[in-house]
Structure 1
Amino acid sequence: MRLSYENKLLAILSLSFGFVFFDRLALSFLFPFVSAELHLDNAHLGMLSSCLALTWAISGAVLGAYSDRLPSKKPMLVLAVLGFSLCSALSGAVTGFVSLLLFRALMGIAEGPVLPLSQSMIAASSTPARRGLNMGIVNGAAPGFLGAVLGPPVIIWLGTHYGWRHAFYLSCVPGLIIACLIWKYVEAQPATAPPRTRAGGTQRVGIRDLLKDRNIFLCMLIACFYLTWFVIIISFTPTFLMQVKKYRPETMGYVMSCLGFAWVLWGFLVPAISDRIGRKPAMFGFSLVAACCPLCLLYVESAATMMPVVFLTYTGLGCFTLFMAIIPSESIAAGSIATALGLIMSVGELVGGFLSPTIAGLAADRFGLSIVMWIAAVGAFVPAILALFLKETAPLVVQAGTRGAAPGVPVEG
């Protein structure tokens, strides 16, 4: 049976954003090998993560907003995928910290617009009943599976057997293939008209108007803390497990793969649950659970115990789909979805992705690597509190509230 365009687009965009994280996380998995040859420390790792996050943030905001003015997002997406793939390969040719920093910065520029481009295309081409599921797969399950399930064992195996430079060289191959798939199979125009959102209409609005929306503003704040939680865990955990827990590289890879499997599961399960119970309670409850994950990494000693525990507590990536895609897309005019998603992502990357890793790296060099896990725990706890102030947007919950409200009484989230 021939796949519908919706399914075909879902598969291609899932591969695109999934391999964004495959390439982005490769340095974290290879850093124990890279640092030994280039004589780098935890502060260098923090600065490398921060540099990529900074350029990712600027690129995502600027190019995401610009893409809403283009007749087609396809050419920009093809160039973005080609760009981050080549920059990943060039990371294997570096001779020191400065050149590695440069290529990671260029990678951030290329990767920045991929999320707002992909999610706005998915929102425009999805049937209403599948929009949340499709966005959850692109934003959560795909990067979890490709970046954090396949990534650790594949990258670490390549680094162990062929050296970290060859691992970087080979990491670009999937991206080149995906760029060809986008060029051949993705339509230049959306398959359907832009969806009408809870805000009503499809018109484009400016950033100033977006910031007046309570949900957009809160999602920006949540992104700042949640990016801190995510980037610190994903950047420092491989080194933490090897240096503090004294795990072998293979054991470290197994633990990181458990985080990846959890990313896949919770990436679509949390949005699915939020369809039933509401976005607010899902964000609150699963964020509290996510705050426990870095503490489990800190206090659980046995790898056999740690793997199932972190699998059950690594729920935050499911929340990412809520505050970075679903809640914004349900709160504003459809013509500004890429702008809003780029804005939320960029502000979160600037604070949580750019500032936090550098601060955490410096703190780790001074107080020990354990401090980074406490910083990460706070990064998930604060969003749980902020979630209480969101306006509910889940269609089933909003409709049920409207039916139960007295005539003439507005329903608040």
Structure 2
Amino acid sequence: MTSARRSDAFALCADRRRWVIVAVIFVAMVFNYLDRQIVAILKPVLKSEFALDDAGYAVLLNLFTVCYAVMYPVSGWLVDRFGPRLVLGVGVIGWSLACIGGGLARTIGVFGGFRAMLGLAEPTNYPSQLKVVAIWFPARLRATANSLCVAGGSIGAIIAPPTIAWLAIAHGWRSVFLVSGAIGLLISLVWFLVYRDPPAEVVEEVRASAPQAFSDTRYSWGQLWRTRSLWGILLIRFVSDPVWYFCLFWLPGYLQEDSGLTLLQVGMVGWIPFLAADLGSIASAAWSDRMVRRGVSPLLARKRMLTAVGLLAPLCVLTPYLPNAAATLIVFSLVAVAALSWLFTLSVVIAEAFPVGNAASVLGIAGGFGAAGAVVFNYFVGQLIGSVGAAQIFLVMAFLHPIAIAILWTMVREERTQSRPASQ
């Protein structure tokens, strides 16, 4: 075999490997979100089991979310320091064991402790997948590859209602935690077997597509905090993430307690907004990639797309006045498209606004701020939804993405040209 043929064969193998890696990340994300959704789908069951009211349920959510917020920046640093193979693999093991522990818990204290452990382990996923996308995929494929990775989360949210409802009805609520955790342990084994760092050919392809990201030296930790774009990304995640967290943690319970659906009915139709979110966010990411291929600068393409889909989010203000659960599902399908598109593509914005060596750290810090916003919002929802109703909650939610759009256009830019060696 000639040298050229060997090079072509190796490139083909590397190309296949990167899509296999995406597939494994996708599956990991599926079960990550399924684990996360169990409490939301089983909200009435768990409230009865552990004698919780809505405020107590909000505390349970925040045990997860506070730990998630604290660990997210740490996870980003760990990924930049030790690489995605080790960090994601250990993270999947950790969240799988936490899920199994939740299924075995007999008191609310122990159950809450395992939800906190889940929050500590789960933040390893998004910084790891962003690092993989940044080092394995050129700019022309990056948003699509990123959306396919993180689409696993919304697929997990799609399969969660029917899967969780069926397992809980057929085998008891504890079986849901045990089965999901066991599958997660298998995923971690596959990840360690499949993942490798990209070969030289792939590194050169990615470097050629985004020379600034690789030629610039990365920011030190202190320098990073002095960039305007970091603060813009943090504010965006703080104000926009709560909308997606509401879809995950409160919408299934709202459909049961306010729209009159049973657990079985939520299992049958509760996946619809998440399917819409998945399809819409992948389509919006592909649209922004198409703009890039037609000559629009990558960061500008992402901003245009995010602005367009972000204008769907204020439709949530109609929710308290809708006539039935079907109308609520339609409105939240559109809201979920906006919320998930922002989560998907903000990761790409980070990869394009900062050096590759800082991407996972920035995403980790941003994810922590997003979760912190969700902590505040969870408390707000827990205090109001059972007393004054949901109208005020949806009114607040309607303003969050428009605020995020304004921040995106005024604060986020490419920061690489001002970077200096991290040792300075």
Between the aligned partners of 2:221 and 2:246, the Cα distance in structure 1 is 29
Query: Who is 2:308 aligned against?
Result: 285
The one of 325, 332, 336 aligned to 1:310: 332
| Aligned partner letter, 1:288 | L
Contact kept, 8 Å, 2:89 with 2:188, in 1: the verdict is: yes
TM-score using structure 2 length: 0.85
Question: Which shifted more, 128-137 or 251-260?
Answer: 251-260
Contact kept, 8 Å, 2:64 with 2:118, in 1: the verdict is: yes
Query: Who is 1:190 aligned against?
Result: 198
Residues 321-363 of structure 1, C-alpha deviation per residue, up to 9 Å, x if partnerless? 222x11111011111111111111111112x222221222112
For the pair 1:367 / 2:388, whether they are aligned, the reply is yes
Query: Who is 1:52 aligned against?
Result: 64
| Aligned partner letter, 2:137 | S
What are structure 2's unaligned runs of at least 5 residues?
1-11, 415-424
The one of 8, 21, 38 aligned to 1:9: 21
Query: Who is 1:404 aligned against?
Result: none
Structure 1 residue 58: deviation in Å? 1.8
For the pair 1:136 / 2:144, whether they are aligned, the reply is no
The one of 157, 171, 192 aligned to 2:166: 157
The aligned runs of 1:240-259 (5 Å cut-off) are: 240-259=254-273
Give the alignment's Cα RMSD to 1 decimal.
2.2
| Aligned partner letter, 1:31 | K
The aligned runs of 1:17-36 (5 Å cut-off) are: 17-36=29-48
The one of 376, 401, 406 aligned to 1:355: 376
Between the aligned partners of 2:413 and 2:220, the Cα distance in structure 1 is 23
Residues 377-408 of structure 1, C-alpha deviation per residue, up to 9 Å, x if partnerless? 33333213323325567xxxxxxxxxxxxxxx
- Shift of the 174–375 alpha-carbon distance from structure 1 to 2, 3 Å rule, reads farther
Structure 1 residue 372: deviation in Å? 3.2
Contact kept, 8 Å, 1:298 with 1:370, in 2: the verdict is: yes
Query: Who is 2:245 aligned against?
Result: 231
> SS at the partner of 1:171?
helix
Between the aligned partners of 2:166 and 2:158, the Cα distance in structure 1 is 13
* Aligned length in residues: 386
Between the aligned partners of 1:364 and 1:302, the Cα distance in structure 2 is 18
The aligned runs of 1:8-407 (5 Å cut-off) are: 8-70=20-82, 72-139=83-150, 141-145=151-155, 147-187=156-196, 189-191=197-199, 192-193=202-203, 195=207, 196=210, 198=212, 201=215, 203-275=217-289, 276=291, 278-292=301-315, 294-315=316-337, 316-323=339-346, 325-350=347-372, 352-391=373-412
Between the aligned partners of 1:298 and 1:148, the Cα distance in structure 2 is 23
Residues 220-261 of structure 1, C-alpha deviation per residue, up to 9 Å, x if partnerless? 101001121111232111221111111222333344211110
> SS at the partner of 1:311?
helix
Residues 66-90 of structure 1, C-alpha deviation per residue, up to 9 Å, x if partnerless? 32122x4312211110110111121
| Aligned partner letter, 1:300 | L
| Aligned partner letter, 1:214 | R
Residues 131-157 of structure 1, C-alpha deviation per residue, up to 9 Å, x if partnerless? 111011112x22111x21111110111
Between the aligned partners of 2:270 and 2:325, the Cα distance in structure 1 is 11
Specify which structure has the higher proportion of helix. Answer: 2
Question: Which shifted more, 5-14 or 42-51?
Answer: 42-51
> SS at the partner of 2:198?
coil
- Shift of the 210–291 alpha-carbon distance from structure 1 to 2, 3 Å rule, reads farther
Contact kept, 8 Å, 2:143 with 2:345, in 1: the verdict is: no
Between the aligned partners of 2:60 and 2:167, the Cα distance in structure 1 is 21
What are structure 1's unaligned runs of at least 5 residues?
394-413
> SS at the partner of 1:113?
helix
- Shift of the 363–30 alpha-carbon distance from structure 1 to 2, 3 Å rule, reads same
